[in-house]
Amino acid sequence: MPAESRLGAGLRLAVTTFTTAPVRPGRLDRATAGTAMAVAPLVGAALGVVLGGVLLGLSVVAPPLVAAVVTVGCGALLTRGLHLDGLADTVDALGSYRRGPAALEIMKKPDVGPFGVAALVLVLLVQSAVLAELAARSWPAALAAVVTATAAGRLGVTVACRRGVPAARPEGLGALVAGTVGPVAVAAGAVAVALPALAAVPGRPWQGPLAVAVALAAVLALLRHLVRRLGGITGDVLGASVEVATTLVYLGVVLSG
């Protein structure tokens, strides 16, 4: 497939994978999937623009916390809640202290256990609290912070799909995308996410990029542990990577000191 066609198909696949936008995914193979995972931060940034607009628009007519909660809800709606589901399933598997197939079987169950519920509540509360704080900032800083966090979340997926990281199962999303992203794409994604991060904290241009770096370090540590426990990545692991990176960046841009 020509490079331009592969890029277009990969971008469409990324949009349909990470959002509910009514876009036809087109061709589906590992090469296209790899392109989709590489451009995932761009889709995250676009989603961040939408969510930032929702936050800033609602904060004009509603209390900051209300605007923040609705924005978090819109984020779940626009992504089908898939990343939150992946987070819950992954935490349930980790909380079981089981390994390999036994842990993977827990992740496949349709119900959510206590560990998963606790993780969901914590993440949603933290994101809502941070967005309420961001609503009080100047609109360029607030928008940059939301764009950075949502783009960094999808950069977590890019990192999880880098070469050398195996799939936990021979089928499913993890098998399709595992090991499909090269180091150049990972580095380019990190630079692209760091750019809006420079404007995320007024007067402290270093804090946004630092928050991104810390979040990615945490995702790398989580992935290393999950590969040991599960044998590789799954679609649920990708969802967990999104939520962990997004939440940590949100925290990083509101910390003061």
pLDDT reading at 257 higher than 60: no
Structure confidence by residue, pLDDT tens digits, 86-109:
999 999 999 888 888 898 888 888
Structure confidence by residue, pLDDT tens digits, 34-58:
999 999 999 999 999 999 999 999 9
Who's near 209: CB < 8 A, 6+ residues apart?
A: 194, 197, 198
SS3 content of the chain, % helix, strand, coil (to 5): 75, 0, 25
Least confident stretch, 17-26, 56-65, 176-185, 213-222: 17-26
Backbone angles phi, psi at 214, to 5 degrees: -65, -45
| Pair of tokens at residue 199 | 């404007």
d(CA 36, CA 248): 23
Residue 20: the pLDDT is: 86
pLDDT reading at 25 higher than 70: no
| Pair of tokens at residue 143 | 């928008």
Q: What is the CA radius of gyration of the chain?
A: 17
Structure confidence by residue, pLDDT tens digits, 180-214:
999 999 999 999 999 999 999 999 999 999 999 99
Q: For residue 244, which of 160, 161, 179, 187 has the smallest C-alpha distance? A: 160
Q: What is the DSSP letter of 166?
A: P
CB atoms within 10 A of CB 2: 7
Q: Which residue carries 């967990």 as its tokens? A: 240
CB atoms within 10 A of CB 136: 9
Give the residue ranges of DSSP H helices in 62-172.
64-78, 82-95, 100-108, 114-134, 139-160
d(CA 95, CA 89): 10
3-state secondary structure of 162: strand
Who's near 244: CB < 8 A, 6+ residues apart?
A: 87, 156, 215, 218, 219, 222
Residues in the chain: 257
